[in-house]
Structures are given as structure tokens and as C-alpha cells.
């Protein structure tokens, strides 16, 4: 994909070419995050009168530059889609519409006669572009989709309580407070602030019966809250387990240490491990620290600073930190990554279970631990 672009634009300097490729391929590049931040920040400044007066030339310049950036981003993506022969696919996709809106909305509003200060408010749409790049969003969405049934039920109950509450309180309060409870829409405003336990206090029942109904609405608010949370907590527990399994599964089968296990045992082991991704030069363990887990290297490399100043490198498939689990709980060396690495973490708790269920693995670890100790003495 990136070759295609490099080939067709040989005149671009390499850094720009790389940026174009990144823009075409991913939702948000680092510069794009920066531009969104600056753009939205400047737009906020625009609404603060004294600040804007003092620096309105700068503010305008920054905003137009941000808009230009998004226009450029959009064009790169249209061109990229065109090369892949799916221009319409991109333009009508969620992402394409969002990209278009970010560029077209503001000039469009200005052309339609909106005052610039109002039109620039639409730059809040730039923020929406960040949403698909939120890392855990897929997981959140899965929970919301899988639990949509009970969540909708709770929402319906919420709405019914809202309407019943506001009609009843309207009935009791309309004569006492015709100004604030003069119509059901006004009572609904009160009810939503009460049922969500926000409680602004701008509209408050004053008759005894109105207050009684209000108290019931507040307590229902607690109940709705509790149901909502209970459903989401349940969904999250299941999803977290699943997500961890999926992330770990692939790595486990690549570690030779586990290769001797049958598929049932691998599934079992996968539930015990946790994957972590580390950038280069990160200290994984520090000498003298308390340790309660061991590590397997799924990919990448680590460097062990042995006491005598020796340095040993361990690569894919090796394990370390096992001494902490075999009785000696203080780490005996500093260990850090040398490059981007994916490690599998085995907790003390699960180590015990693993050793109990698969005694052969225990022997392998034990033998290796003894070999290392001898070597280091």
C-alpha cells in the first residue's frame, strides 16, 4: 500500500511521504492529535471576549491553519481510496463522512451567512475524529451491544418514571409555583435533573405532596443507577476475560516452553497469562525489589545486568524472574528491554496452579533456575 504512494509521488521528501502514508492508513497520526488540540483550544479562546480582542489575528490564523491541515488530510485519504478503487466506499463510510464534515462544515456555515465566531464553533467536530482512535473503544462498544437488551429496559423504565414523576409533580405544584412548574416540559426538566441525582435546585417542589413524589423519584434514581451499573459491571467482567484471552492466545503458542502442552493445557495456560507490550529501554525488574511474577518473552529481547557487571541478553522464548516464585522473593538483577517487546506475565498465584497441574513444566523451570544459579556463582 505504502509502496503505491511512494511510487506515484517520487518527488516528496521522505519525511512528508511517510506522513502521507500514515495519514492515509491510520485514523489519527500524532500531528493530527496536536492539531485537534490546538484547534479546539483556540476555538475556546475565540469565545473569551477580552482574550480574543487582544489576539484575534493570531486566533484566526491558527484556526484557518488547522482547517487547512484537515483539508489536506481529507484529500490524501480521497486520493488513497481512489488509487485502491473505492472512492465512493470511503466517502460514504463513517470515517469519510467525519473527515468531510471536519473540513466542509465551517466554510459552509460562513457561506450560509453565519457570523464567523458562530461558524468556528463547529470545529468541535474535529474532536469527533478522535473517537474511533480511543484504544478500549471496541471493547466498550462490544459490552454496550451485548448488554443492549437490559440497558434498553433500564432506559425505558427511566423514561416511564420520568414521565410519571413529572406529570404528578406538575399536578401538585402548578398552582403553588406557576412560574417554574407551569407546564409539563418544565416539570420534565425538573424530573431529569432529579432522577439523575444532578439536582440543580433551580426548580424545586415546595408542596408536601410534591416533595413526597420527589423523594420517590430520587430513590428511583438510585435504583436506576444501580441497575445500570450492575449490567455494565457484568458485561465488563465477561469482556475483559475474553479480550485478555484473545490477546494472549497467539503469543502463548509461539513460546517454545509451552509447545509440549496439548491444546487443552494451552487454553488453560492462556487464561493464566497476561500480555504486556513494552517499548525499548524500559526497566522490567529492579535488583532488590519484591517480586511476585515471572515473565516469558513472546517477542523482543531483554538484557540482564548480572551482579558481576556481566550482561546477558535473553530473546524470544526465554523466561526470567522465576526465582521470585521458587522461594527467593527478592529480584537478583536489573532487567530491561532492548527493543519493543511483548512479554507474558505469570503471577505467583497462577504459577502455583500451573506447577500443580503440569509438573513437567515445573521441572523445566526448576532445572533452568538451578543452571543459572550455578552459572552466576
Buried b / exposed e across 274-308, counting CB within 10 Å, b at 16+?
A: ebeebeeeeebbeeeeebebbbbbbbbbbbbbeee
Least distance in angstroms from the C-beta of 355 to its own copies: 6
Burial of 371 (0-12, 13-18, 19+ CB in 10 A): exposed
Pairing of strands 283-285, 311-315: unpaired
139 binds its own copies (CB under 8 A): yes
Nearest approach in angstroms of CB 239 to its own copies is 9
Site for its own copies in 271-330 (CB under 8 A): 274, 292
Tell me which of 224, 272, 285, 294 binds its own copies, using CB under 8 A.
224
Stretch binding its own copies (CB under 8 A), from 2-10, 11-19, 125-133, 277-285: 125-133
Q: Is 47 one of the binding residues for its own copies (CB under 8 A)? A: yes
Q: Is 69 or 190 the residue whose CB approaches its own copies more closely?
A: 190
Task: Provide the grid cell at 173.
Answer: 405544584
At a CB cut-off of 8 Å and minimum separation 6, what does 228 contact? 151, 154
Contact pattern for its own copies over residues 100 through 119, marking x by CB under 8 A: ------------------x-
Show the beta-strand stretches assigned E in 193-340.
Answer: 273-278, 283-285, 293-299, 301-305, 311-315, 319-320, 334-337
By CB under 8 A, residue 132 contacts its own copies: no
Listed residue (130, 129, 108, 126) closest to 65, CA to CA:
126
Q: Which of residues 339-368 bind its own copies (CB under 8 A)?
A: 347-349, 352-353, 355-357, 359
Closest to 127 in 3D by CA, of 46, 23, 38, 52: 38
Cα dist from 174 to 28, 165, 182, 215, 355, whole Å:
52, 14, 5, 18, 72
User: From the CB of 313, what's the least distance to its own copies, in Å?
Assistant: 27
One symbol per residue from 15 to 44: x for binding its own copies (CB under 8 A), - otherwise; what is it?
A: -------------------------x--xx
The binding track of 56-95 with respect to its own copies, each residue x by CB under 8 A or -, is ----------------------------------------
Which residues have C-beta within 8 Å of that of residue 131, sequence separation ≥ 6?
A: 137
- DSSP H or E segment with residue 98: helix 94-111
The distance of closest approach from Cβ of residue 50 to its own copies in the complex, given in angstroms and rounded to an integer, is 10
Segment contacting its own copies (CB under 8 A): 26-34, 232-240, 309-317, 331-339? 232-240
Applying the rule CB under 8 A, the residues between 243 and 272 that interact with its own copies are 245-246, 249, 262-267, 270
Least Å distance between CB 15 and its own copies?
Answer: 29
Task: Pick between residue 104 and residue 227 the one whose CB is nearest to its own copies.
Answer: 227
- What length is written for the chain? 377
Binding of residue 180 to its own copies (CB under 8 A): no
Quote the cell numbers at residue 228.
Answer: 445500570
User: Using CA atoms, how far apart are residues 185 and 46, in angstroms rounded to an integer?
Assistant: 33
17, 83, 104, 193: residue in contact with its own copies (rule CB under 8 A):
193
150 binds its own copies (CB under 8 A): yes
Amino acid at each position: 500500500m505504502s509502496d503505491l504512494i511512494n511510487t506515484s509521488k517520487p518527488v516528496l521528501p521522505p519525511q512528508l511521504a511517510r506522513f502521507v502514508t500514515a495519514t492515509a492508513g491510520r485514523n489519527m497520526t500524532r500531528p493530527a492529535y496536536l492539531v485537534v488540540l490546538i484547534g479546539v483550544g483556540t476555538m475556546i479562546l475565540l469565545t473569551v471576549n477580552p482574550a480574543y480582542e487582544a489576539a484575534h489575528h493570531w486566533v484566526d490564523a491558527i484556526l484557518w491553519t488547522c482547517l487547512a491541515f484537515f483539508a489536506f488530510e481529507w484529500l490524501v485519504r480521497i486520493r488513497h481510496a481512489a488509487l485502491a478503487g473505492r472512492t465512493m466506499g470511503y466517502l460514504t463510510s463513517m470515517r469519510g463522512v467525519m473527515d468531510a464534515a471536519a473540513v466542509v462544515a465551517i466554510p459552509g456555515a460562513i457561506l450560509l451567512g453565519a457570523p464567523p465566531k458562530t461558524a468556528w464553533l463547529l470545529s468541535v467536530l474535529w474532536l469527533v475524529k478522535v473517537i474511533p482512535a480511543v484504544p478500549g473503544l471496541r471493547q466498550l462498544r462490544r459490552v454496550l451491544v451485548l448488554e443492549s437488551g437490559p440497558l434498553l429496559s433500564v432506559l425505558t423504565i427511566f423514561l416511564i418514571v420520568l414521565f410519571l414523576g413529572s406529570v404528578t409533580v406538575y399536578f401538585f405544584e402548578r398552582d403553588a409555583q406557576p412560574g417554574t412548574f407551569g407546564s409539563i416540559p418544565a416539570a420534565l426538566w425538573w424530573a431529569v435533573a432529579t432522577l439523575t441525582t444532578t439536582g440543580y435546585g433551580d426548580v424545586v417542589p415546595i408542596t408536601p405532596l410534591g416533595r413526597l413524589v420527589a423523594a420517590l423519584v430520587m430513590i428511583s434514581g438510585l435504583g436506576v443507577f444501580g441497575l445500570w451499573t450492575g449490567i455494565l459491571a457484568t458485561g465488563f467482567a465477561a469482556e475483559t476475560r475474553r479480550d485478555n484471552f484473545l490477546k494472549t492466545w497467539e503469543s502463548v503458542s509461539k513460546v517454545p516452553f509451552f509447545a509440549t502442552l496439548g491444546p487443552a493445557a494451552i487454553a488453560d495456560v492462556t487464561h493464566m497469562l497476561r500480555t504486556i507490550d513494552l517499548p525499548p529501554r524500559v526497566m522490567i525488574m529492579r535488583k532488590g525489589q519484591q517480586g511476585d511474577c515471572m515473565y516469558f518473552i513472546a517477542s523482543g529481547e531483554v538484557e540482564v545486568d548480572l551482579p558481576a557487571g556481566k550482561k546477558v541478553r535473553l530473546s524470544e522464548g526465554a523466561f526470567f524472574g522465576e526465582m521470585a516464585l521458587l522461594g527467593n522473593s527478592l529480584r537478583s538483577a536489573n532487567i530491561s528491554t532492548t527493543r519493543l517487546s511483548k512479554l507474558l506475565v505469570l503471577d505467583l498465584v497462577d504459577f502455583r496452579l500451573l506447577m500443580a497441574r503440569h509438573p513437567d513444566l515445573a521441572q523445566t523451570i526448576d532445572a533452568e533456575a538451578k543452571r543459572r544459579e550455578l552459572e552466576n556463582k
